Amino acid sequence: MQVIEQLKTMDEERFAAIYESLVHQGFGPLDNEVAKALKFRPQAIRKLPLAKRAKRAKSILENGANAEMCYEIFGSYLIKEHKELVTSFLDLTGVKHEEGMINSIEEDMPEGSKVADAAKELDGKHDAADVTLYLSLCAEQWPQVPEIQELWASRKA
């Protein structure tokens, strides 16, 4: 559950920024869950400041260890805000994809020997925190590629 570990090391401001980037028509990606937890009607949740909603959403993800939802939120953020980071990593490591979308995760895996160089190149072009975030998704997605696991583990602290 690498994405949950990554979430736990993330400060509230960073998570709030990710959460805010995914707001659609005034609703955050987990606002329904936040509303249920606070016993609010779904429409009423928009009256709460976004930072409070994001804080509660982070808590829901951490306490529920909901790796799938966490993966979806981080993946959506990266594709929406940093698509070039995702597509560059996939290109640099030899993964077939269409605009960052992979057809077969089992068949199209990164070449382990290219992972470190790809991350180094991405660090030069993108925020290292976003590169590490993406590596947590890759570690979750491809546990059979030890180079990803090792690189992400060395960066997460």
Quote the CA–CA distance of 157 and 72 in Å, as a whole number.
22
pTM here? 0.90
Model pLDDT for residues 3-23, shown as the tens digit of each residue: 989 999 999 999 999 999 999
Cβ atoms of 78 and 130 within 8 Å: the answer is yes
How many other CB atoms are found less than 10 A from the CB of residue 49? 9
Model pLDDT for residues 17-76, shown as the tens digit of each residue: 999 999 998 899 899 999 998 899 888 888 899 999 999 999 999 887 788 899 999 999
pLDDT of residue 72: 93
Q: With 0-12 CB in 10 A as exposed, 13-18 as middle and 19+ as buried, what is 26?
A: exposed
Cβ atoms of 19 and 72 within 8 Å: the answer is no
Q: Where are the domains of the chain?
A: 2-68, 82-155
> For helices 2-9 and 128-141, what crossing angle results, to 10°?
160
Kindly state the DSSP code that residue 43 receives in the 8-state scheme: G
